[in-house]
Every structure is written in structure tokens, then in C-alpha cells.
Structure 1
């Protein structure tokens, strides 16, 4: 059967930058095996399959597959799919804003989609607040796993931590942009590190440049993602890591994250966290998305 598909670049307004995404429509009758096979065929960090929602008040039910398995939640697939559906629903390209509800395995994820001067932006509200997801690992193991000296791990109160906002990630602060640029997966220590952490993905970060608060890189080779140009689900958990480094005061905190720079697919992620009584009450992850291609796939 033929199914329409689209590809988009997410966390960018520029085609062929950001994080590419494939979205397959009309997926209600597809089996898990078929969806996994199609995800391997596209071989992007994630492929989304869209079907009718369980609750008619929501726009769609989506399932998100990496080349190696399904995810309960991911940021760039959520934002890219919301932007695509809003653009398909739009009567015209006039400036407007709309709320879209996407049913995901993690729960209902609301996304605000706006169109301004022809540019589409999506901002999701995380269904799960950041929470600790494990015990710290040794600096020696972290350094060995990413090919750096131990002195390059950590800075200004930032030490490695595990946090989860739907998907668990190991957060590894590195000293500066030079260390971030030099970091690379180094076996066998990498596999030892991720096994100890209980997660496929390690999110390396440091202070940013060019107006960005932070710069980051994400590696998840065991999940079929040698390096990810932009990782919204990690961004959603990142406030937990930042709060561990320095307690966040009550109020709204905003940051910008640059990712994918080293691999030639620059991505810009906006991140906000609301804190009340020392606890997270809302986390929002946003960015632009641009359509790149469309076609039909036989499944």
C-alpha cells in the first residue's frame, strides 16, 4: 500500500541543516515490524508514523522509531510532526498560532505551532519533568569513553549526571569548546560507560558561543545514531542537570543550545523551565522546522 511521507529539517529554518526527520502518514494499519523496517530504510535518527488519535480532541497519535527501536518520546520528531500537520491543515500561509496535541507513548504532548513571515516554529511542553536517573560515574571512565583527559571533564560546579524527562541521558560537562570539538566515542570504555549508565545516549555540553548559552553534542551509536544533530528529548531533561550544578531559583529560566555544529548540521534549540517551590512545573523545548521533500512509500 502507498503511504505519503515527508522529510523535514528540525531545529533550523534552513534546508539541509538541523536534524532531518521522516514522517509517514496514514500509519494506523502498519505493524510494529513494518514501522521498524521503514525506519531502517530511511535510516535517520528518527522516523515518525502518524495515525488517528484515540481522543478526537487531539490532532494525532504518533509513534517514533530509531533505526534500532521505538522511543516513548523525542523532541525533534514531536516538533517536526506538529509543524508538518499544522502546515497541512493551514488554509493559507498567513501568520497564525495553533495548539496541537500529539499522543505519544510517554503521554499527551502539547505543541504550540506558529507561522511568522513564512517560517514555522514548534514549542512542545514536556509530558514528564526532569528527574534523576542514576548514580554518577567516575571521571576516569567518562574521560576514557570520550577520548579526553580527565582534566577536561567538568567545569564551574558542573559534574556528570543522569537525568530523564521521558528518555534517560547521561550528561557530561566538558571544560571548553576545544574539548567538545575533540570528544569522540572511544571503545571499549564507551560501551562500559553506557552499560554502567543504563542509557545509549551521552550528551556532552559546555558553555556556548555566538549568542548561545550552551553548545552540545549527542552520541548514541548503539541506537544507530553515531552523532545526533539535535536532541530535543535530552534538552527536555537538561534543566535537571543544570539545577544539579546550581539550584535554579523559582521563576522561568530560558536558555539556547547549539548542537550539530561539528557535523555540519547546525541546530538551534530554545529551552525554558518553570520552577515553583524548588520543583519543575513546566519544561518547554522549541525550534524552527522546514519541509525538504515529499513522496510516496510502498509498505
Structure 2
């Protein structure tokens, strides 16, 4: 029987109101079927809609299920930060004062508390250079020549991400992708801003396979790219990424790598909508 449930929307990765990436969060997802969760995700039509559930392991503070309009994900970054903020805002109390432990399809994810929330990038399930056929499909969808690609990599921590690096942020912003012949793509492009810019890189991410043509700000992609770049010397141990520019957003994503190699992804997460939803 449908009943009212606490529901919030959180703007993630921007300090300017309504300029980041929103996530819808149902704070009590108990008793909902997969079909009901997926139906709500299609209806909100946001990049992700999440459902908070009791944990199934003692180490976790809660369990999270994450849905795009096109299906469920084992992990996603901005929903992790947004759902943690929603859970705290709704009265959630973590076992540890300094961090939250989220259980999701990818396992346990630590979320560090502070002025901004930060999640520890989960292990990549696939890494290494793309094969040439995959790369050619990507550059074909991007409408660019193969020689424009500076570097490329699998950075998949669950959703299926691959990334290509272009020489400049301007080249990334100029992309006019056409994924009509590549509907299963889960791909990003990154390029460097000029020296002295507030952000080191510009990122764009495209997920037609998940029903998200372009994501305004993507934590999971930035997590995998951060692991790649900081471990290979392609970026310093701490840097910022701007995203969402072509969509009229102003996302700012902060990446930092600890001495042990753990990569943290942080940014603002602000509750913008509070209420109830009947499910």
C-alpha cells in the first residue's frame, strides 16, 4: 500500500544555488520493489534517484540503491555525496563522528565528514588503455580525429566509464557528440584549462546507456580519472575540475590523493527540497 515517505533533493558539486547536479533521495526505501524504484527514477528524470535502506552488514551506516532513468548502478559519485547529506539532514547519526560508511552495489564506500563531504574512490573494476576499436567508436561519436586524443583509459568503478583526454578544456567544451550509433557508451572527455585557472581541468561525461545524454557533474567518472591521473603523474595530488559548463551549470569537483594512494572526491552538497512522496 503506498504511503508517504521522506523525500529530498540535494544539489551536489556547486556552491551557487541550483547550479550543480541534483539527486532525488527517498530516505526510507523499505518495502519498495525494483520496479517501483525504477519507475520513480524514470519519473524524476534526474541523472540519479536513490533509496536509503537499512544496512545488511554491521560496518555500514545505511545501504543505498542508485537508479538512473535507464537502470540501476552499483555506484555513483554525486548520489553518494547527496544521499549522505540527505541522511545527515534527516537525522542520521553515523557510528564514527568523522566518516559515514555507505553500503552499495560496489561494496562499502567511506564518506569523510568536514566542511564538505568527500567520498573515497572505490577500486576500479576495469582499467588500462582502451582497445583501438573502442577508441575509434568514441572519437567517431565525438566527431573528432584520432590524433586529437592525448591519452585514453578505462576508469570503470561500476558504471562502465571510459575516458579520453584532449589537449585543452576548450576542445572538450567544443565537442558536439552524436551517440546515435553508439548507444551503449559510458564515456567522458577531459582537457586542461590554461595555467592560472581556478580549475585544472574541464570534464564532460556522457551516459546514453543509462538514459543520461550528458551528466552535469559526475563523481564516479572524476573518481576513476583521479585515480588514473594522480597515479601516473598526469595531475598533481590535489586539483579541481569544472563540469556542466555546456549545460549552464557551474559544478566544481575537488580531487585529492593521500600518500597511500586513496583518492577522495569532494564538493558542496546542499539540500534544496524537503517534503514527502507517496510510494
TM-score by length of 2: 0.87
What is the CA deviation profile of residues 122-155 of structure 1, one whole-angstrom value per residue up to 9, with x for unaligned ones?
Answer: 101123257516633356543321122444332x
CA contact (8 A) 1:52 1:61 kept: yes
1:275 shift after superposition = 5.8
- Report the number of matched residues: 271
What is the CA deviation profile of residues 148-179 of structure 1, one whole-angstrom value per residue up to 9, with x for unaligned ones?
Answer: 2444332xxxx122122333311111232332
Could you say what secondary structure the match of 1:160 adopts? strand
Give ranges in structure 2 of 5+ residues lacking alignment: none
1:265 to 228, 231, 249: 249
Match of 2:222 in 1: 235
Match of 2:213 in 1: 226
1:137 to 132, 156, 159: 132
Match of 2:161 in 1: 169
1:65 to 51, 64, 67: 67
Partners of 1:31 and 1:23 in 2: how far apart? Answer: 16
What is the CA deviation profile of residues 79-124 of structure 1, one whole-angstrom value per residue up to 9, with x for unaligned ones?
Answer: 1111122233389xxxxx6411111111111111224xxxxx2101
Q: In the alignment, does 2:271 pair up with 1:287?
A: no
* More moved, 33-42 vs 139-148: 139-148
Residues 142, 90 of structure 1: alpha-carbon distance in 2 compared, 3 angstrom cutoff: closer
What is the CA deviation profile of residues 50-79 of structure 1, one whole-angstrom value per residue up to 9, with x for unaligned ones?
Answer: 011224553211100000100001100001
What is the CA deviation profile of residues 240-267 of structure 1, one whole-angstrom value per residue up to 9, with x for unaligned ones?
Answer: 44268x4579xx8112111111111111
Residues 247, 211 of structure 1: alpha-carbon distance in 2 compared, 3 angstrom cutoff: closer
Partners of 1:248 and 1:205 in 2: how far apart? Answer: 12
TM-score by length of 1: 0.82
1:48 shift after superposition = 0.7
CA contact (8 A) 1:14 1:290 kept: no
CA contact (8 A) 2:98 2:112 kept: yes
Partners of 1:44 and 1:179 in 2: how far apart? Answer: 27
1:87 to 83, 86, 89: 89
Match of 1:20 in 2: 22
Match of 1:201 in 2: 186
What is the CA deviation profile of residues 184-209 of structure 1, one whole-angstrom value per residue up to 9, with x for unaligned ones?
Answer: 22245544xx5xxxxx3111000025
Partners of 1:125 and 1:187 in 2: how far apart? Answer: 31
CA contact (8 A) 2:98 2:113 kept: yes
1:14 shift after superposition = 2.2
1:292 shift after superposition = 1.0
Residues 38, 183 of structure 1: alpha-carbon distance in 2 compared, 3 angstrom cutoff: same
